[in-house]
Structure 1
């Protein structure tokens, strides 16, 4: 009888300590995300895909799964859709190739993994996870990253898998606008997908995946695979994924800056995120946004552009999906 009592007590304690999970995602930010640019059919397609991604993450968390595993499942859904600039929907480099980047960070251990400039891994976020879990490194790039991903059992596909007519037309427009020698990417397609999660055990994680910028050259790498710039997670503060003009997010270590303001300056999550996006990035010329969740389950979805594909789901509540 005593053993039964102790067992019930332990279950009660575990239940009392468990908290509601939260999933937040983005599908890119930009000044082209406006109601006049996206028709009703397209808007519904984006909303449905973001909702699908949220519930893929919820499926992991409903059974007590870890935050970082939910992040991977959410991002895989977005990578598999041609709607977003990641995975299947990745934009083209100037040389008509797809060079993708991704990263993931575990807020409990502060372990992280990332890949850059890969072109044959179907879901780049799975390669980033493999780096985090099965290597002593943080970032692997190019062919070496692809070789490692293959050894780790990540799904490898032909480069043709990523080629879509929509993205090829975007590249054609870019070349006509900027010529053969331009390295100006100000007007090129900037998009990313990302996710931040708080699981039932109070652990945070975040991940980001991107195809980069249309027309990029010379092996350019943005903020998405850079821990502290495009992705950051720390159980003491928050988990964040960023999207926008990567060079600025790198220079200002945006994701880490938000976390640091919370930890060292005792700023609220919302105030820290708002300050970095609007008072640091915007005056410097950096367009973009971020999404995240803090250790208490508070959500931020902050951006300084006309729109950002974004959504969140709190356990037991209805999903919120927004664009403009």
Structure 2
């Protein structure tokens, strides 16, 4: 066979075939680039310049309307309303997302209704041991404290860790020493203990509630934070998901800001908060769809319970949980506002 006659045809074939083979790779690279640049959205509209969104939770659990008196319902709604209005006012004035998260959660930590700060559930030994975390979506910087007993507002200590240290998570006495160096208010552990928390410990009532907040500020930056007293009657220095970045708290300007509440061990095993963000990023699905996949499929398959609140980069909010109740309040970027406590 005369190979010299075949060679020109082979050359022509390669010239046309190679570009055809490269087209799928070029498209794939372009698709990945677009995915990183354009966050998924719940609604097919752009966020209005200067708009903001905020969503708050006060813990989830298997409680119903019959479990609360009318006075208790009113007190919870009042506390959520006041925290929401404070957050809205700060956002409307142009305050930065992580500052708003801190201020809102300080209000809830100071309210004995919730399992965070004053009113936190107690350890087996009768102490209050508190955890908190905060994360900023703009640069994904984060801070957290765990197992602290004397810091009046753990969420402020978490923000100090984020803004004034090279660390992410400080625990126990070291976290308390750091907070003293940052001139944060210290209290005796008895400050956190209430009659309600003492009764829960004696009754060995298993309570996993936390408080959390997720925010989109007027500059388009996301932030989230979570604070808790942890699990009632906990032992051996147990730490749940609330101070774990990626499990109880997450924020990324490209996707969403998340705060979780529930049985912390399961949220840690699944990395719930980050998993929702990852599903949004790589599957290009909405916040609510991603949260439903994690809470109603992955979490339930493991036998865990709880929920999340979140806000996406366009100011859409979501509260997804597999319990009968979650204390929650929100105002989205379109100005829709609600306060709810039960699954219906």
Q: Deviations over 1:184-205 (max 9, x none)?
A: xxx6111100000000000000
Q: Deviations over 1:162-182 (max 9, x none)?
A: 1101100100011xxxxxxxx
Structure 2 counterpart of 1:21? 52
User: Matches of residues 99-110 of structure 1 in structure 2 within 5 Å?
Assistant: 99-110=129-140
Contact preservation (8 Å) 1:22, 1:313: yes
Aligned pair partner of 2:144 in 92, 110, 114: 114
Rounded Cα–Cα distance in structure 2 between residues aligned with 1:109 and 1:152: 23
After superposition, the CA RMSD in angstroms is 1.2
Aligned pair partner of 2:94 in 61, 64, 85: 64
Structure 2 counterpart of 1:183? none
Rounded Cα–Cα distance in structure 1 between residues aligned with 2:302 and 2:284: 24
Aligned pair partner of 1:279 in 282, 297, 301: 297
Structure 2 counterpart of 1:44? 74
Rounded Cα–Cα distance in structure 2 between residues aligned with 1:268 and 1:316: 17
Contact preservation (8 Å) 1:114, 1:132: yes
Aligned pair partner of 2:196 in 159, 166, 185: 166
Rounded Cα–Cα distance in structure 1 between residues aligned with 2:221 and 2:297: 29
Q: What is the number of equivalent residue pairs in this alignment? A: 296
Structure 2 counterpart of 1:141? 171
Rounded Cα–Cα distance in structure 1 between residues aligned with 2:170 and 2:247: 17
Q: Does 1:306 align with 2:321?
A: no
Which structure 1 residue ranges, 4+ long, deviate > 3 Å from structure 2? 314-319
**Comparing 43-52 and 152-161, the one that deviates more:** 152-161
Rounded Cα–Cα distance in structure 2 between residues aligned with 1:291 and 1:314: 12
Structure 2 counterpart of 1:76? 106
When residues 158 and 297 of structure 1 are mapped into structure 2, their CA distance, relative to the original with a 3 A threshold, is: same
Structure 2 counterpart of 1:89? 119
Per-residue deviation, 1:18: 2.7
Structure 1 counterpart of 2:259? 241
| Structure 2 portions without partners, runs of 5+ | 1-46
**Comparing 57-66 and 81-90, the one that deviates more:** 57-66
Partner-residue secondary structure (3-state), 2:145 = strand
Contact preservation (8 Å) 2:249, 2:258: yes
Per-residue deviation, 1:265: 1.1
When residues 136 and 159 of structure 1 are mapped into structure 2, their CA distance, relative to the original with a 3 A threshold, is: same
Rounded Cα–Cα distance in structure 1 between residues aligned with 2:109 and 2:292: 28
Partner-residue secondary structure (3-state), 2:298 = helix
Q: Deviations over 1:27-52 (max 9, x none)?
A: 00011x21110011100100000011
